[in-house]
């Protein structure tokens, strides 16, 4: 058999994947970035048809999509989504999470139209082997794509996180009273049957697993929804050792919304600055930027705390390489992609021990601060900064351990490879004919 024909025979079992990513676009926010990573990386391995919202068309074109070995189906609901988004922003000007929850109603229309379009194409002769819904990453957004007759993989999902009880003012500012609306999604799931009919549900945290009825939890497989580009976020040594003469360089990256609790970080830095030199870089935009900039000035940090606005991923990588320690003081963080990026850069990480960071940060890679209220977090941050100065070698080693963990668990290539293997296993379980074929053992992962 010629090498060419052998390669062709090996690839005949590569799954034809229908990838549903309601949010999908490079540099368009964390969830859209997740959709883009799945699409761009899967399409280098297997044939992919991306089904996504039409609002993503321009950014996908900018990045030369459709990519090789793929095609795209766009679903248009802007007639409903655009006015809904405007209403949500007027109702919740400071809470992007609440805006997302209300705007998510549009997803159900998108999903219904996507299911209808896929069934139409299947009727006209189009074939796929498996459907994988990757965004939204919330359990409150069940999909009906199993009704196309294709085996369904859902996730990785991240959600089900309850609001912390020790930060009432921050949660009030973040319109946390509106969060219970997400439970409506669970009611929809009873009728849509996403969890009931999914072959596997990829789940990021223990809170996510608990969000599903116990009878479906056996389908859940652990996988963080976020990954990291290990080639972009490269490990580097500290440029200086922080001490009495060299400022401790602290970095925050994230949306400037109440739950991120940058106000607590500013107060901790103020206390630390009374004793030691320090520099704080704040990267990101959001409704709290002006208020937090004013707070920094009131605290006398105008020469210490610098606000940089939104930066590109390569620019964020450079900022991480320039800092000593990465700090995410968020009191309600369901994910934590920036923590993975900092760890990949070999930077030790400091975060509040709640939600997504609780699954990521421990004493091997940094410091997890107990979520015992605002003053406790402020003191915990201050104490951690003092520890960096007192034990720089220990903290450098934490950064190196973070890089090793990122390489082992969080790189996108490893994540994509493991899911392709999951596709294979799912198809074998769904169709006994796969099990009878010896050729399936030569299913190629290019």
How do residues 117-138 score in pLDDT, each as one tens digit? Answer: 999 999 999 999 999 999 988 8
* Non-local CB neighbours of 137 within 8 Å, separated by 6+ positions: 31, 34, 155, 156, 157, 158, 159, 204, 225, 335
Q: How many CB atoms lie within 10 A of CB 294?
A: 10
**Same domain, yes or no, for 276 and 207?**
no
Name the least confident of 44-53, 253-262, 435-444. Answer: 435-444
| In the block, residue with structure tokens 């973070």 | 402
Q: Greatest CA separation found in the chain?
A: 76
**Same domain, yes or no, for 129 and 151?**
yes
The secondary structure of 168-222 as a DSSP string is HHHHHHTTGGGGGGGHHHHHHHHHH-HHHH-SEEEESSHHHHHTS-GGGGGGEEE
Q: Which residue has the higher pLDDT, 175 or 119?
A: 119
Q: Is the pLDDT of residue 304 over 90?
A: yes
Q: Is the pLDDT of residue 421 over 70?
A: yes
Q: How many CB atoms lie within 10 A of CB 367?
A: 23
User: Radius of gyration over alpha carbons of the chain, in Å?
Assistant: 23
**Same domain, yes or no, for 197 and 103?**
yes
Query: What's the pLDDT at 176?
Result: 47
Phi-psi region of 247 (alpha: psi -120 to 50; beta: other; left: phi over 0): beta
Q: Which residue has the higher pLDDT, 193 or 442?
A: 193
**Same domain, yes or no, for 169 and 206?**
yes
Query: How many Cα atoms sit within 13 Å of 111 on the Cβ side?
Result: 22
Query: What's the pLDDT at 148?
Result: 94
Q: Which residue has the higher pLDDT, 429 or 161?
A: 429
**Same domain, yes or no, for 87 and 38?**
yes
Q: What are phi and psi of 109, to 5 degrees?
A: -70, -45
CA distance 317 to 327: 15
Residue 288 contacts residue 262 (beta carbons within 8 Å): yes
The residue-averaged pLDDT of 248-275 equals: 94
Judge whether 237 lies within some domain: no
The secondary structure of 255-309 as a DSSP string is --SGGG-HHHHHHHHHHHHTTS-EEEEEE---TTHHHHHHHHHHTT-TTTEEEEE
Q: Is the pLDDT of residue 41 over 90?
A: yes
Judge whether 29 lies within some domain: yes
Q: What is the average pLDDT score of the chain?
A: 85
Residue 338: C-alpha distances to residues 129, 202, 333, 349 (Å): 34, 20, 11, 10
Query: What's the pLDDT at 3?
Result: 37
**Same domain, yes or no, for 317 and 223?**
no
Residue 29, both tokens: 């926010």
Domain count across the chain: 2
Residue 387 contacts residue 272 (beta carbons within 8 Å): no
Judge whether 236 lies within some domain: no
Structural domain of 363: 248-408
Query: What's the pLDDT at 72?
Result: 96
How do residues 71-106 score in pLDDT, each as one tens digit? Answer: 999 999 988 777 767 776 676 666 555 556 556 778
Residue 354 contacts residue 164 (beta carbons within 8 Å): yes
**Same domain, yes or no, for 142 and 265?**
no
The residue-averaged pLDDT of 157-183 equals: 60
* Non-local CB neighbours of 244 within 8 Å, separated by 6+ positions: 276, 277
Query: What's the pLDDT at 178?
Result: 42
| In the block, residue with structure tokens 């351990």 | 401
Q: Is the pLDDT of residue 7 over 60?
A: no
Q: Which residue has the higher pLDDT, 332 or 122?
A: 122
The residue-averaged pLDDT of 263-281 equals: 96
Name the least confident of 200-204, 290-294, 437-441. Answer: 437-441
* Non-local CB neighbours of 393 within 8 Å, separated by 6+ positions: none
pTM, whole model, 2 decimals?
A: 0.78
**Same domain, yes or no, for 196 and 256?**
no
Q: Is the pLDDT of residue 267 over 90?
A: yes
C-alpha 78 chain-centroid distance:
24
**Same domain, yes or no, for 104 and 128?**
yes
Q: Which residue has the higher pLDDT, 165 or 313?
A: 313
The residue-averaged pLDDT of 162-169 equals: 67
Q: Is the pLDDT of residue 445 over 50?
A: no
Q: What is the CATH number of the domain that holds 267?
A: 3.40.50.2000
CA distance 254 to 338: 8
Q: Which residue has the higher pLDDT, 415 or 186?
A: 415
**Same domain, yes or no, for 267 and 404?**
yes
Q: Is the pLDDT of residue 266 over 80?
A: yes
């Amino acid at each position: 058999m010629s090498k060419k024909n052998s390669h062709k025979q090996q690839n005949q079992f590569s799954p034809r994947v229908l990838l549903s990513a309601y949010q999908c676009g490079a540099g368009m926010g964390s969830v859209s970035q997740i959709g883009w990573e799945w699409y761009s990386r899967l399409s280098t391995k297997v044939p992919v048809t991306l089904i996504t919202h039409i609002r993503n068309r321009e950014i996908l074109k900018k990045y030369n999509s459709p990519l090789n070995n793929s095609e795209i189906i766009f679903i248009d609901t802007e007639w409903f989504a655009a006015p809904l988004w405007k209403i949500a922003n007027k109702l919740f000007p400071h809470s992007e999470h609440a805006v997302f929850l209300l705007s998510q109603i549009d997803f159900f229309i998108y999903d219904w139209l996507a299911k209808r379009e896929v069934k139409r194409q299947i009727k006209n002769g189009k074939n796929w082997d498996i459907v994988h819904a990757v965004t939204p990453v919330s359990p409150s957004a069940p999909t009906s794509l199993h009704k196309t007759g294709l085996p369904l993989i859902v996730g990785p999902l991240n959600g089900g996180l309850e609001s912390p009880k020790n930060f009432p003012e921050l949660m009030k500012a973040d319109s946390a009273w509106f969060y219970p609306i997400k439970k409506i999604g669970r009611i929809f799931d009873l009728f849509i049957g996403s969890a009931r009919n999914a072959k596997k549900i990829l789940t990021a945290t223990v809170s996510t697993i608990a969000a599903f009825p116990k009878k479906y939890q056996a389908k859940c497989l652990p996988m963080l929804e976020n990954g990291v580009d290990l080639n972009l976020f490269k490990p580097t040594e500290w440029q200086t050792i922080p001490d009495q003469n060299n400022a401790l360089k602290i970095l925050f990256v994230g949306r400037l919304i109440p739950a991120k609790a940058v106000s607590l970080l500013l107060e901790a830095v103020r206390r630390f600055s009374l004793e030691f030199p320090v520099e704080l870089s704040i990267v990101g935009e959001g409704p709290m930027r002006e208020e937090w900039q004013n707070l920094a000035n009131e605290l006398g940090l105008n020469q210490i705390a610098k606000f940089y606005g939104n930066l590109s991923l390569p620019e964020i990588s450079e900022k991480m390489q320039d800092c000593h320690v990465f700090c995410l003081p968020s009191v309600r963080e369901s994910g934590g992609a920036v923590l993975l990026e900092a760890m990949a850069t070999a930077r030790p990480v400091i975060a509040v021990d709640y939600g997504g960071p609780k699954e990521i940060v421990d004493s091997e890679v940094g410091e997890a601060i107990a979520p015992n209220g605002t003053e406790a977090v402020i003191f915990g941050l201050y104490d951690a900064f003092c520890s960096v100065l007192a034990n720089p070698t220990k903290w450098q080693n934490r950064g190196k351990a973070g890089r090793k963990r990122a390489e082992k668990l969080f790189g996108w290539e490893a994540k994509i490879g493991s899911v392709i293997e999951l596709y294979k296993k799912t198809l074998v379980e769904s169709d006994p004919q796969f099990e009878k074929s010896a050729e399936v053992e030569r299913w190629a992962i290019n």
